[in-house]
Amino acid sequence: MPPVRNRPVTVSGPPVHEAGGVLTIDLAALVANWRELKRLAKPAECAAVVKADGYGLGLEPVARALAQAGCRTFFVAHLSEGRRLRARDPASAIYVLNGLLPGTAPIYAECNLRPVLGSIPELNEWIAFRESSGWRGGAALHVDTGMNRLGLTLREAAALAERRPEARAGIDLVMSHFAVSEDPTHPLNARQMGLFRELRELFPNVRGSLANSSGIFLGPDARHDLVRPGVALYGANPTPGHTNPMRPVVRLDARIVQVRTVPEGETVGYGAAWTAQRPTRIAVVSVGYADGFLRSAGATDKRREGADATVKGKRCLIAGRISMDLLAIDVTDVPGEPPRRGDMVALLDKDIGVDQLADRAGTIAYEILTSLGRRYARVYREE
Ligand SMILES: *Cc1c(COP(=O)(O)O)cnc(C)c1O
């Protein structure tokens, strides 16, 4: 069900009043983030990476909002994701990052998808398919410049360039991927940019793409013809250590199931890992690690700094181990009327961002976003 303009609409999950958690996705902020990255990247084209179900926020609503804003090129990781996107979007260019799995070339033609070819066997299989089928659709060529994950070696690319594969394989994009663009001081960035420039000279008539979200902030030498932001669209900070230039996109509210008082010296939760240092009022909330709220985000006696929650405007600490379906919040210091059963608390809001939660859980915003649970009610806001 497509969201209706100007009205928040629940598009998936249980009804809001039954849900343990309510995930609100601000599509206007998503679009504003895309526009900001597009402005920065100019004159390069700004694509959007919507792999892993739009980084956990929902492939269809995310891609639809971006396409309406003018995004014309999308990247997914899996063929199945490309197929899903194509079903809703007949026009955009859709590249499949994980490449061509054996025997799947006909599906690329059927769905008008472009494989990102990352090895010589993939390239050969694609060329053979194009020659036998007459399919004329495009593909990207992925060349490794230092990530050592996917992509041809530069030596392979140079040998290949002499045989001009553009025509036979329909190569319309050469790309590579940064390994550490979030750290602009790392010497690998300059090395990758230099190697990518050499690569472009081998394929002078093909468009080039190097930058992910953080790569866009490395300056004009990183941007080439097309940039491929993912995580920054969804509100994570592409410039760690500096103010986040992106708007938050995700908000997570969770329901209080009960409020109880724990005497000083008693422990809260599994493992008896968090001890009350004073008589403590605890709000137990209906979200847990089965909802993707990582178990490592809870505070313990050994590590008092867990994730935060906002309860009636007050920042509170998540106390003890996070359970599968529940977590506990120390709400002792909430001023005024104590919180009550049925009240909502915020686990992600404009102050508690995905980067901060990731930091407290010992991970990165990418993992927080792509772990967001399936039991939440999801509300998509268009403005
Ligand atoms: C995931 C991915 C991106 C997007 O990266 P972000 O850091 O999320 O912006 C770009 N290019 C490739 C090849 C990727 O795998």
Which pLDDT score, from 0 to 100, does residue 8 have?
Answer: 63
The CA 99 to ligand 1 mean position distance, Å, reads 14
Domain match, 177 and 326 both? no
Which pLDDT score, from 0 to 100, does residue 10 have?
Answer: 65
Ligand 1 mutation pick, 49, 181, 196, max ligand atoms within 8 A of CB: 49
The CA 212 to ligand 1 mean position distance, Å, reads 5
Question: How much is the average pLDDT of 50-73?
Answer: 98
Which pLDDT score, from 0 to 100, does residue 1 have?
Answer: 43
* Residue 320 DSSP label: S
Ligand 1 within 6 A of 174 CB? no
Domain match, 228 and 356 both? no
95: left (phi over 0), alpha (psi -120 to 50) or beta: beta
pLDDT digits (tens, 9 = 90+) for 24-50: 999 999 999 999 999 999 999 999 999
Q: What does the H/E/C string look like for 141-205?
A: EEECCCCCCCCECHHHHHHHHCCCHHHHHCEEEEECCCCCCCCCCCHHHHHHHHHHHHHHHHCCC
Ligand 1 mutation pick, 30, 75, 216, max ligand atoms within 8 A of CB: 75
Q: Higher-confidence residue: 12 or 60?
A: 60
Atom of ligand 1 nearest to the CA of 366: 8
Ligand 1 within 6 A of 189 CB? no
Sign of CA dihedral 204, 208, 210, 214: positive
How many angstroms separate the CA atoms of 66 and 208, rounded? 22
Q: Higher-confidence residue: 166 or 313?
A: 313
Which of 234, 266, 297 terminates a domain? The answer is: 234
The CA 229 to ligand 1 mean position distance, Å, reads 6
Domain match, 229 and 254 both? no
Ligand 1 within 6 A of 150 CB? no
pLDDT digits (tens, 9 = 90+) for 147-198: 999 999 999 999 999 988 888 999 999 999 999 999 999 999 999 999 999 9
Ligand 1 within 6 A of 369 CB? no
* Angle between helices 187-202 and 154-161 in degrees, nearest 10: 10
Atom of ligand 1 nearest to the CA of 55: 8
| For ligand 1, atom 15: residue with the closest CA | 97
Atom of ligand 1 nearest to the CA of 116: 13
Residue with tokens 């990352």: 118
CB 356 within 8 A of CB 252: no
Ligand 1 within 6 A of 231 CB? yes
The CA 178 to ligand 1 mean position distance, Å, reads 9
Residue 115 inside a domain? The answer is yes
Ligand 1 mutation pick, 177, 366, 369, max ligand atoms within 8 A of CB: 177
Domain match, 94 and 226 both? yes
Question: How much is the average pLDDT of 348-373?
Answer: 97
Domain match, 82 and 224 both? yes
- CATH number, domain containing residue 343: 2.40.37.10
CB 282 within 8 A of CB 273: no
Torsion on CA atoms 56, 61, 66, 71, rounded to nearest 10: 90
Atom of ligand 1 nearest to the CA of 231: 8
Task: Give the number of domains in the chain.
Answer: 2
The CA 89 to ligand 1 mean position distance, Å, reads 21
| Residue 4 pLDDT greater than 80, yes or no | no
Compute CA distances 137 → 107, 169, 175, 186, 263, whole Å: 12, 9, 17, 38, 68
Domain match, 32 and 164 both? yes
pLDDT digits (tens, 9 = 90+) for 314-335: 999 999 999 999 999 999 999 9
Atom of ligand 1 nearest to the CA of 142: 13
pLDDT digits (tens, 9 = 90+) for 70-128: 999 999 999 999 999 999 999 999 999 999 999 999 999 999 999 999 999 999 999 99
The CA 215 to ligand 1 mean position distance, Å, reads 10
**Alpha helices (runs of H) in the chain, residue ranges in sequence order:** 27-41, 51-55, 59-69, 79-88, 105-110, 120-133, 154-161, 165-169, 187-202, 213-216, 354-360, 365-371
Domain match, 174 and 268 both? no
DSSP 87-130: HH-SSSEEEETT---TT-HHHHHHTT-EEEE-SHHHHHHHHHHH
Ligand 1 within 6 A of 145 CB? no
Residues in the chain: 383
Domain match, 218 and 71 both? yes
Q: Higher-confidence residue: 3 or 288?
A: 288
Which of 234, 268, 300 terminates a domain? The answer is: 234
Catalytic residue positions? 51, 270
Which pLDDT score, from 0 to 100, does residue 12 have?
Answer: 85
Residue 300 inside a domain? The answer is yes
pLDDT digits (tens, 9 = 90+) for 229-279: 999 999 999 999 999 999 999 999 999 999 999 999 999 999 999 999 999
The CA 228 to ligand 1 mean position distance, Å, reads 6
Domain match, 87 and 214 both? yes
Which pLDDT score, from 0 to 100, does residue 144 have?
Answer: 98
- CATH number, domain containing residue 97: 3.20.20.10
Query: Quick one: pLDDT band at residue 7, thresholds 50, 70, 90?
Result: low
| Residue 354 pLDDT greater than 80, yes or no | yes
The CA 230 to ligand 1 mean position distance, Å, reads 6
Query: Quick one: pLDDT band at residue 383, thresholds 50, 70, 90?
Result: confident
Which pLDDT score, from 0 to 100, does residue 5 have?
Answer: 52
Domain that holds residue 360: 250-381
CB 130 within 8 A of CB 169: yes
What percentage of the chain carries pLDDT values higher than 70? 98
Domain match, 175 and 296 both? no
Ligand 1 within 6 A of 213 CB? yes
Domain match, 274 and 135 both? no
Domain match, 148 and 268 both? no
Which pLDDT score, from 0 to 100, does residue 137 have?
Answer: 97
